[in-house]
C-alpha cells in the first residue's frame, strides 16, 4: 500500500516513525565564492525525513538555516548538533524535527555559509549569506547541484519542493533575505525577531546603536575557523560599515532586504508569519514594521506582536504557538484546508497573560498630536517659550526617572492623568523646532508610561527578555536517546514599576535630511527636524500619565556613542509628538 500523509481535524497526524527516519547529509553548491579560494562555496545540509519518502512518499520541507550551530548554539537552551560515525545527525537542534517529521515533513538543518561544516566566510548579512540559503531551496526544487561525501551528485527526489523557512534573530533574517530573492519553491517563512535591514541593527538614523567593529566581530564570532582564512573579508566588513560616520552606503544597501539589490520585499512570493517583540533591544521593532508595510499586498500573512524582548515564542506561549505553527505549515506546505487563514491575522499581547486578536496590524488608528507646554505639561494646544538641555550620555532610567525634578540633561512633559485607557498601535513620530550651539548633537526622545503597574520585564535583557524559567519540561513530538525534544518551561517575568519607557527614537542631527551623507548644522540657526520613533502596541491605563522626554545620547541603545555636550534649545511652539491611537477597543 502506498504510504500516505494522514490528516484529521484540519492537521497532519504523527503516523511516521521518528526513530526510523532517514538521516543523511549533502553539500549544496552556492553561486558565490565568499572566501576567494577559487571554488564556489558548498553549503552543508543535514536532512531527516520519513523512511517512507524512499518508497514513493513525496514530502515538503521545513528548513532551519543558522549561523549559530557552533557559537553559541541555537535556541534558548543553546542546542548543538551531534553526529554519528557516518557524519549524519543523531541530534537536530530545536523541536521542529521531533514534531514535524512524524507528521510527514522533511526537516533540513542548514549550516550558513562560513559556519560549522559549510565552506566560505560569513558576511554578516551580505549576499553570500542570502544566496547560500537560496541555493538550498533551488536544490530542493531540482535547480541546483548537491554532492555526497564522495563527490557524487545527489538529487532531492523525495521532496515536493515546497519549502518553509523558520528561524530566530540572524536565522530569521536569512529567511527574510531568501524570501526577498523571489525564489520559487519557498512557500512560506516564519521569521522570529529577524532583521530586515542590517543597517538598522547597528544604527538608528545615523547614530551607532552598538559597538564599533560589530560587523567584523559577528563574522568572527560565529566562524570557528582560524581568523586568517577570512581576514580579507573581515577587512572589507570593517571598511564597508563606516563606523566613523554612521552613514548608510552601498555596503548597507546590499544588506537591506526591504529595498536592496540582492533581496527586496517587493519580490517576496512566500507567505509570511513574523513574530516581533516590541521591547526587543537587539532586533528593534522597526525591523518588522518597515518590512511588513513594503510586502506586496497579495502576500498572505499572519503576525504575533508581543511585549517581550528578543524571544522565540516557543518559550512564551508554547502550546498555542506549536498548535498555530502546525496549522500554518500544514496549510502552506501541505495544502490542508484548515481554518488558519480564517482566524484573525494578528495576535497582540498587551500585558502579562493578556492577549487579543485583531484583523490586522496595526489596529485602525487616528493620529493625535500632543505638544509640550511651558508649564511642563503635554496637551493638544500649542504653547510658547523655549526649553534647553545638554546632549549627555544617560541611561533611560536616568532620562525618564523623577520627571518633576529639574534635570539639565533632559526636558520632560506629562499629560494629566488619563480619564480612560488609551492604546497606541503603530509608529509615533516626533518633530522638534530646535537650535544647536554646535554643528551636531545626538537627539533622543522617549515616550513614557508613568503609573505604578505590573509589567512584562521585556525591556531589560538581564530580565530574561520578559521570561523566566520554571520547573518542569515539555516534550514536543517524538524522541530518541540522543534527541528527546524536551525543553524547560518558562513563564512571564514581570516587574512592578512606577514607569516604563514605551518607545524611543534617536537621530544624529547631521543626518536629519539624509542617512547617506552628513550635513552639519549651523550653530544658532533654527531647524525643524522630524523623524519616526520605534513602533509599539501598548495600552496606557486610566489614571496613568503619558510622558514625552527630550534627551541627548541614549546609553541603553549601545556603547559606541558619547554625548556631544551640545546645548539644544527647543522652541515649544514648533515641537510635537504624533501618536497613532486606536479608534476602537
Q: Active-site residues: which are they?
A: 169, 280, 310
Q: Please list, in sequence order, all residues whose beta carbon lies within 8 angstroms of the beta carbon of residue 73, skipping any fewer than 6 positions away.
A: 79, 80, 93
**Residue from 301, 225, 260, 265 nearest 34 by CA:** 225
Enter the DSSP assignment of 40.
Answer: P
SS3 category, 265: helix
Give the C-alpha distances (Å, rounded to integers) separating 501 from 121, 349, 398, 548: 39, 17, 11, 10
| Distance, CA of 100 to CA of 96 (rounded, Å) | 6
| Distance, CA of 385 to CA of 404 (rounded, Å) | 18
**Residue from 293, 290, 299 nearest 272 by CA:** 299
Q: Please list, in sequence order, all residues whose beta carbon lies within 8 angstroms of the beta carbon of residue 190, skipping any fewer than 6 positions away.
A: 164, 165, 166, 167, 172, 175, 272, 273, 274, 275, 325, 328
* Cβ density class 268-294: b for 16+ within 10 Å, e for less: bbbbbbbbbbbbbbbbbbbbbbbbbeb
Q: Which helix (DSSP H) or strand (DSSP E) does residue 204 occupy?
A: strand 203-204
Cis preceding-peptide flag for 531 (omega within 30 of 0): no
What does residue 318 show for φ and ψ, rounded to 5 degrees? -55, -55
Q: Please list, in sequence order, all residues whose beta carbon lies within 8 angstroms of the beta carbon of residue 21, skipping any fewer than 6 positions away.
A: 48, 49, 50, 51, 101
C-alpha cell at 524: 544658532
Instruction: Report residue 77 CA to chain centroid gap.
Output: 19
Enter the DSSP assignment of 74.
Answer: B
Give the residue carrying C-alpha cell 563527490.
151
Are the beta carbons of 452 and 553 closer than 8 angstroms?
no
| Distance, CA of 236 to CA of 218 (rounded, Å) | 13
531: exposed, middle or buried (Cβ count in 10 Å: 0-12, 13-18, 19+): middle
38: exposed, middle or buried (Cβ count in 10 Å: 0-12, 13-18, 19+): exposed
Find the DSSP H helices in 285-373: 286-294, 318-329
Residue 394: how many other CB atoms lie within 10 Å: 21
**Residue from 503, 506, 517 nearest 554 by CA:** 506
| Distance, CA of 354 to CA of 139 (rounded, Å) | 43
Amino acid at each position: 500500500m502506498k504510504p500516505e500523509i494522514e490528516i484529521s481535524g484540519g492537521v497532519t497526524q504523527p503516523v511516521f516513525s521518528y526513530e526510523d527516519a532517514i538521516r543523511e547529509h549533502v553539500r549544496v553548491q552556492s553561486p558565490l565564492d565568499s572566501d576567494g579560494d577559487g571554488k564556489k562555496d558548498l553549503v552543508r545540509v543535514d536532512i531527516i525525513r520519513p523512511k517512507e519518502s524512499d518508497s514513493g512518499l513525496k514530502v515538503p520541507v521545513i528548513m532551519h538555516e543558522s549561523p549559530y550551530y557552533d557559537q553559541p548554539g541555537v535556541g534558548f537552551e543553546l542546542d548543538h548538533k551531534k553526529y554519528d560515525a557516518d557524519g549524519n545527525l543523531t541530534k537536530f537542534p530545536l523541536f521542529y524535527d521531533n514534531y514535524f517529521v512524524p507528521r510527514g515533513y522533511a526537516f533540513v538543518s542548514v549550516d550558513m555559509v562560513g559556519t560549522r561544516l559549510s565552506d566560505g566566510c560569513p558576511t554578516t548579512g551580505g549576499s553570500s549569506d542570502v544566496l547560500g540559503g537560496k541555493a538550498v531551496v533551488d536544490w530542493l526544487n531540482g535547480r541546483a547541484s548537491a554532492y555526497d561525501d564522495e563527490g557524487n551528485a545527489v538529487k532531492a527526489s523525495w521532496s515536493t519542493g515546497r519549502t518553509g523557512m523558520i528561524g530566530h534573530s540572524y536565522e530569521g533574517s536569512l529567511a527574510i533575505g531568501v524570501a526577498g530573492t523571489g525564489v520559487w519553491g519557498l512557500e512560506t517563512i516564519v521569521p522570529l525577531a529577524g532583521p530586515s535591514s542590517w543597517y538598522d541593527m547597528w544604527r538608528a538614523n545615523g547614530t551607532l546603536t552598538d559597538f564599533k567593529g560589530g560587523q567584523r566581530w559577528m563574522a568572527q564570532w560565529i566562524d570557528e575557523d582560524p581568523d586568517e582564512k577570512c581576514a580579507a573579508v573581515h577587512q572589507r566588513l570593517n571598511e564597508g560599515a563606516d563606523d566613523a560616520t554612521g552613514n548608510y552606503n552601498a555596503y548597507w544597501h546590499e544588506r537591506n532586504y526591504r529595498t536592496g539589490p540582492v533581496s527586496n520585499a517587493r519580490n517576496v512570493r512566500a507567505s509570511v508569519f513574523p513574530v516581533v517583540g516590541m521591547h526587543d533591544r537587539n532586533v528593534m521593532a522597526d525591523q518588522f514594521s518597515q518590512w511588513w508595510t513594503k510586502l506586496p499586498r497579495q502576500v498572505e500573512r499572519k503576525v504575533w506582536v508581543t511585549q517581550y524582548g528578543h524571544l522565540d515564542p516557543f518559550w512564551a506561549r508554547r502550546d498555542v504557538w506549536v498548535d498555530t505553527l502546525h496549522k500554518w505549515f500544514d496549510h502552506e506546505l501541505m495544502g490542508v484546508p484548515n481554518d488558519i487563514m480564517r482566524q484573525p491575522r494578528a495576535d497582540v499581547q498587551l500585558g502579562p497573560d493578556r492577549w487579543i486578536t485583531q484583523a490586522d496590524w496595526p489596529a485602525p488608528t487616528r493620529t493625535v498630536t500632543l505638544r509640550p507646554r511651558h508649564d511642563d505639561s503635554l496637551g493638544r494646544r500649542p504653547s510658547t517659550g523655549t526649553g534647553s538641555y545638554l546632549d549627555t550620555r544617560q541611561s533611560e532610567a536616568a532620562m525618564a526617572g523623577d520627571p518633576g525634578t529639574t534635570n539639565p540633561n533632559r526636558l520632560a512633559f506629562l499629560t494629566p492623568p488619563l480619564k480612560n485607557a488609551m492604546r497606541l498601535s503603530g509608529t509615533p513620530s516626533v518633530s522638534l523646532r530646535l537650535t544647536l550651539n554646535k554643528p551636531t548633537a545626538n537627539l533622543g526622545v522617549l515616550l513614557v508610561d508613568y503609573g505604578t503597574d505590573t509589567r512584562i520585564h521585556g525591556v531589560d535583557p538581564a530580565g530574561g527578555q520578559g521570561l523566566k524559567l520554571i520547573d518542569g519540561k515539555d516534550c514536543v513530538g517524538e524522541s530518541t536517546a540522543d534527541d528527546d525534544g524536551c525543553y524547560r518551561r518558562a513563564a512571564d517575568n514581570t516587574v512592578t514599576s512606577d514607569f516604563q519607557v514605551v518607545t524611543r527614537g534617536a537621530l544624529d542631527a547631521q543626518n536629519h535630511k539624509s542617512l547617506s551623507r552628513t550635513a552639519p548644522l549651523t550653530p544658532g540657526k533654527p531647524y525643524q527636524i522630524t523623524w519616526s520613533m520605534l513602533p509599539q502596541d501598548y495600552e496606557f491605563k486610566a489614571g496613568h500619565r503619558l510622558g514625552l522626554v527630550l534627551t541627548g545620547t541614549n546609553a541603553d541603545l549601545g556603547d559606541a556613542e558619547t554625548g556631544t555636550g551640545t546645548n539644544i534649545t527647543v522652541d515649544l511652539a514648533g515641537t510635537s509628538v504624533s501618536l497613532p491611537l486606536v479608534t476602537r477597543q
